[in-house]
Amino acid sequence: MLNSPAAIANFQKMRDLLGVDGGMLIANPVPEASEIPRDEMEIYITRALDNAERDEISGKKVTPYLLDSIFGLTDGRSLETNIALVENNARLAAEIAVALV
């Protein structure tokens, strides 16, 4: 497990030296202070999925429908959580980029 930007950067440098092509998946969680507890989110997701089925939502319309539904069910908290995740991902990506130099 790679637990720091420097470790991730070193791993990528080694992949480059070995000629390993392809991407790398880096899991970076929502900051704890911004997360919605799993048990609570499962309820919202289930309700949103049930609503989508009831409203016969399919194809490309599913994701925006679910996001909007969950936004409403959480009184906007899900958007705050998603923004915190994007900011955390950008922060980690910048730290990895600096470590790659």
- Write the pLDDT tens digit of every residue in 47-75: 999 999 999 999 999 999 999 999 999 99
What Rg, from alpha-carbon coordinates, does the chain have? Answer: 18
3-state per-residue secondary structure call for 65-89: HHHHHHHHHCCCHHHHHHHHHHHHH
Residue 95 and residue 5 in contact, taking contact as beta carbons nearer than 8 Å: yes
Low-confidence ranges of the chain (pLDDT < 50): none
Residue 1: predicted pLDDT: 85
Domain hosting residue 94, numbered range: 5-100
Contacts of 96 (CB under 8 A, 6+ apart): 5, 8, 9, 12, 26
Number of domains present in the structure of the chain: 1
